[in-house]
Copies of this chain bind each other. A is one copy, B any other.
């Protein structure tokens, strides 16, 4: 049923009756003042109408005005101080019930505000976009991070795994959803509808996405899959329009060649882990002959890391490699053998402060329990591929029987699961 229309009708009638809280929502009123009214009103319907007004106003505001509104909300919508002081005065360490009272009493009213917005039909997607703005503003105004905590907390609750729906996207999918896929693809750009058609409609291609029921046309994250005979060594042949298609029953390998998060506003809410594992189950159910599940992944941080290494005297790169790399001119890549060694070295030895691989893509897949299986030079000739990693790509292997142990080792000790190929490459590289 057309929920939005319901609110529109309701609003028209209420506006007609010309009274109460809505009388105050003059065109010129400040949206943050309206937020205070919203939390004051006890009428659900007026609240709904008012909440919609405020969302409209925040969306139409200039970036500066919106940031100012965020700042005021962060500052003015703290907890009810009286209630909080009372809870504090009765708090006894170790008393769970008292702590719970403290928790509820300390809840910033900004959370109630975001919840009030989310009652408006269709608001969930709008709040996701609003948080994207907030995240951008937070870079220049770190005080806003406090307000973002509220968004993140509520989004984690609303976008819970149990509410998400996995859907296959194909050439029978509604065009408005497909259009979103074109827009959101972040790894290997989709160049128009013909390119999309082969990625979703070809017999040896698959695309799966997670959706939230409150955003039914708008995917949250999706993964693109190629069904192939062998583990691929480069992205070009997969994206090539003139490639040979194979019938799915001939495929032995499912290649996850692109994973795209669709919404900046959902940063920190993780879906990817489940997506891959659930898609593996789906594919296996339909095609028993599939034996191997593997990614073809970029190595986005390689060249930046090499650059930083070359600045320091005492890095992880041994002298021999250091010399070879220092002789490269401009954007010329190292020779393939060297590039594969450096890639293996980077992915296995370069760690983040918190432990785990420095490379974000590696961190994601290793954290999921995958194995770093193969490294390829001359695998991605795109400008971005060359700029980030001299065209190097790698395969992460999802092997059911080892996923859980790998995951646990990586989580507990930071140990990275490696194939013997990568182990040999990394050893060779480290020798110097």
Contact = CB atoms under 8 A, between A and B. Distances in A.
Contact of A162 (B95, B120, B156, B172): B120
A68 interface: no
A77 to B, nearest CB: 7
Contacts of A91: 88
A330 interface: no
Given A1-B282, A150-B100, A176 B166 contact: no
Interface string A100-137: 10111011100000010011111110000000000000
A407 B44 CA distance: 10
Given A1-B166, A162-B120, A100 B405 contact: no
A107 B96 contact: no
Contacts of A178: 175
B153 A104 contact: yes
Contact of A154 (B157, B274, B407): B157
Contacts of A88: 88, 91
Contact of A107 (B103, B118, B161): B103
Contacts of A431: none
A270 B192 CA distance: 36
Contacts of A402: 17
Contacts of A274: 44-45
Interface in A63-103: 74-79, 81, 84-85, 88, 91, 93-97, 99-100, 102-103
Contacts of A197: 175, 179
B103 A108 contact: yes
Contacts of A171: 174-176, 179
A44 B273 CA distance: 8
A162 B3 CA distance: 9
Interface string A394-417: 000000111111011001000000
A122 B6 contact: no
A85 B174 CA distance: 53
A172 B175 CA distance: 6
Given A75-B96, A161-B119, A405 B108 contact: no
A221 to B, nearest CB: 14
A408 B20 contact: yes
Interface in A181-214: 192-193, 197, 201, 213-214
A122 B162 contact: yes
A158 interface: yes
A164 to B, nearest CB: 9
A118 B162 CA distance: 6
Contact of A43 (B149, B175, B179, B404): B404
A141 interface: no
Contacts of A106: 99-100, 102-103, 106
A285 interface: yes
Interface stretch (A7-15, A258-266, A306-314): A7-15
Given A43-B369, A120-B161, A120-B162, 7 more contacts: A16-B401, A20-B404, A20-B405, A79-B96, A104-B149, A118-B162, A174-B174
22 contacts: A10-B281, A13-B400, A17-B400, A17-B402, A19-B405, A44-B161, A45-B277, A78-B94, A78-B96, A78-B100, A81-B94, A96-B108, A103-B108, A115-B157, A118-B162, A119-B161, A123-B162, A158-B158, A171-B176, A173-B175, A175-B175, A213-B214
